[in-house]
Amino acid sequence: MHDDANIRSRGYFIARTTATCWHCRRPTPLLALAVPSGHAALDPEDSVVDEAQANAWSVMHRPAFLFYVGSLSATVRSRLERLAPSYSIDRREDDMDGCWANHCVQCGACLGDHELFCEPDGAFVPTSQSRAGSIRLSATGEPFAALAAGYIPDPPFFDAMCKE
């Protein structure tokens, strides 16, 4: 599988919606990754009291959105590069490895994950069923592995998002 992954699953969702670019103020498509219930997450070493539990995988019983994704398995990466070239690695001066991020298709500006995933009514944090309905989830049956620093377990209104 993927040696440095902290999330793995038998399948995953590609979430799509549209938002206004902060830079050029024009609409741009956005993409996010989500994993279904039954995915596994690696317990971080610093939160484990018992050394024997360090690096133990836990099965999660609710879906989750992932963000600040640092690496992806080759098959997932290949699919995303074909489907959404504007979702690509963003390398910043303070982060040599970079992470996968949405970029405006109009002006190329990076749309940061904090605004998309950490703020109420961010593109992937709907505060109502109607807003959740603008997010389209496409399920894939491919194995999934990723290293993600951001994780939203049981996202609000996940069941109201349109599944394709």
Residue-wise pLDDT for 89-138, tens only, equals 987 655 557 899 999 999 999 999 999 999 999 999 999 999 999 999 99
- Assigned domain for 43 exists: yes
- Assigned domain for 113 exists: yes
Spatial separation of the C-alpha atoms in residues 111 and 108, rounded to whole Å: 9
Spatial separation of the C-alpha atoms in residues 81 and 118, rounded to whole Å: 25
Please answer whether residues 54 and 137 qualify as being in contact, where contact means their C-beta atoms are separated by less than 8 angstroms: no
- Assigned domain for 2 exists: no
- Assigned domain for 133 exists: yes
Domain count, the chain: 1
The residue segments making up the domain with residue 87 are 7-163
pTM of the predicted model as reported, rounded to 2 decimal places? 0.89
Residues of 27-47 as b/e, b for ≥16 C-beta within 10 angstroms? ebebbbbbbbeebbbbeeeee
Mean pLDDT across 2-30: 94
- Assigned domain for 1 exists: no
- Assigned domain for 98 exists: yes
Comparing C-alpha atoms, which of 153, 91, 155 is closest to residue 122? Answer: 155
pLDDT band with cut points at 50, 70 and 90 for residue 164: confident
Burial class of residue 26 in the structure, from the number of CB atoms within 10 Å of its CB (0-12 exposed, 13-18 middle, 19+ buried): exposed
What pLDDT, on a 0 to 100 scale, did the predictor assign at position 91?
73
- pLDDT (tens digit per residue) in 35-74: 999 999 997 654 545 555 556 899 999 999 999 999 999 9
- Assigned domain for 74 exists: yes
- Assigned domain for 31 exists: yes
Spatial separation of the C-alpha atoms in residues 82 and 85, rounded to whole Å: 6
